[in-house]
Amino acid sequence: MKKLLTIVILPLIIIGLGYAIVRSLTAPIKFDKERDFRSSLAIERLKDIRTLQTTYKTEFGKYASTFDTLENFYKNGTITIVRQIGSFDDSVAVAQGRVFRDSMELPVKDTLLKYPGFNIDSLRWVPLVGEEFEMRAVVKKVSGVDVPLFEACTPFDVLLKGMNRQLIVNLNEDLKISNRYPGIKVGSIDQPNNNAGNWE
């Protein structure tokens, strides 16, 4: 019995413990790598949302409050492009009437986000997890002036769904302690921030 314990059971226990130790050491590294990958995909989509939102605001004076509105704007909307012929610094050309501005309407889908792989129907979805980004738009009084604001975000609880739960809890706690949003976010409905992302 002693021989069996020494030759078979003890080595199995050592191998099991070794595996558990290696796994516990590599789990945070794998977690960080996967978190960075998922975050990079979400950030690219949030940048696209910001591009459409800022263009929408230029056209309508406010931000879109729903993804349906934003998608419709991309598919069916137009933007006004102003081009200038000549230079207003050239006084002779100005006097001769050879300097003027001309505006034209162009479809949004022919102007914005023209890169391979962009799909407007994917805009609202957090990559890899199949849940929607949260998006809000408000008009807020700032120093007595109405200021349109928007934010789009996804918490790490959604973005990292299916990953090590304890490591997600630890990450969220670290961010809450430092008073930072526990996820990826662009813009803010609390105060103007020039539509910055919290990764920038």
3-state secondary structure at position 66: coil
Please give the Cα distance from 31 to 72 (Å, whole number).
Answer: 37
Using the structure block, give the residue that is written with the tokens 């929408």: 56
Residue among 39, 32, 65, 58 nearest 129 (CA): 39
User: pTM for the full model?
Assistant: 0.80
Sign of the C-alpha dihedral, residues 189, 190, 192, 195? negative
- Three-state DSSP at 149 gives strand
Query: Mean pLDDT throughout 57-77?
Result: 95
Cα end-to-end distance, the chain, whole Å: 64
The pLDDT tens digits of the residues spanning 19-55 come to 556 565 567 889 999 999 999 999 999 999 999 999 9
User: What pLDDT is recorded for position 94?
Assistant: 63
Please tell me the distance from the alpha carbon of residue 45 to that of residue 145, in angstroms, as a whole number: 30
